[in-house]
Amino acid sequence: MKVCTTGIACLAVILSFAASVSAETISGTWTDPSVQSNAVIIQRGNRVTITNTFNWQGKEVQWRAQGRRNGNTVSVRYFYTKNRPAGWENGTMNFLLTGGNTLSGKWVSESRRYSQNITFTLVQRQDPRAERTPPKRTKRATRRKDQHGKWVDPDRNLRMYRSEEER
């Protein structure tokens, strides 16, 4: 009876730990209310990727960030990928996760001349099981040489030449 009770208690602790780990992912859609941005955060293990899009002076600005999560802190390096406004710089961001639905912290430019507080709030959490779904495989092109030693792509039924001289 004592062994059974101890086993059930251990199982309960393990299950509650597993549930808390899966609930702690920050993957999902977030927003920075100050610029009404649309941010997608993906967490795999302790690696974090952020893609953020917002309108600034009539243009859509986009930046991406990559970094790590350690407990309730998230540290990333961001870089602009679309319509970087003049004078804006790439840099780093450090966040503290509070309440499971708020990331607040500060961004600092590479030159360290500019910095500002930034806050993201959770819009919709992504199902942690969806992250584990492997991507669909696409058909792989198969190439081969024909009877004359020329490369042929059977999907297009065309010869593929390595250089102009082979034509």
Largest CA distance in the chain: 84
Residue 18 has pLDDT above 50, yes or no: no
What pLDDT does 155 receive?
A: 58
Percent of the chain whose pLDDT exceeds 70 = 65
Tokens for 96? 């503290």
pTM: 0.64
- DSSP β-bridge partners for residue 77: 66, 92
Count Cβ neighbours within 10 Å for each residue of 47-64 and write b for 16 or more, e otherwise: ebebebbbeeeeeebebb
Out of 11-20, 39-48, 92-101, 107-116, least confident range: 11-20
Burial class for 139, CB neighbours closer than 10 Å (0-12, 13-18, 19+): exposed
Q: What is the mean pLDDT of residues 125-130?
A: 68
List, in sequence order, every beta strand (DSSP E) within 57-165: 59-70, 73-82, 91-98, 102-109, 115-125, 144-145, 151-153, 158-160
Residue 111 has pLDDT above 80, yes or no: yes
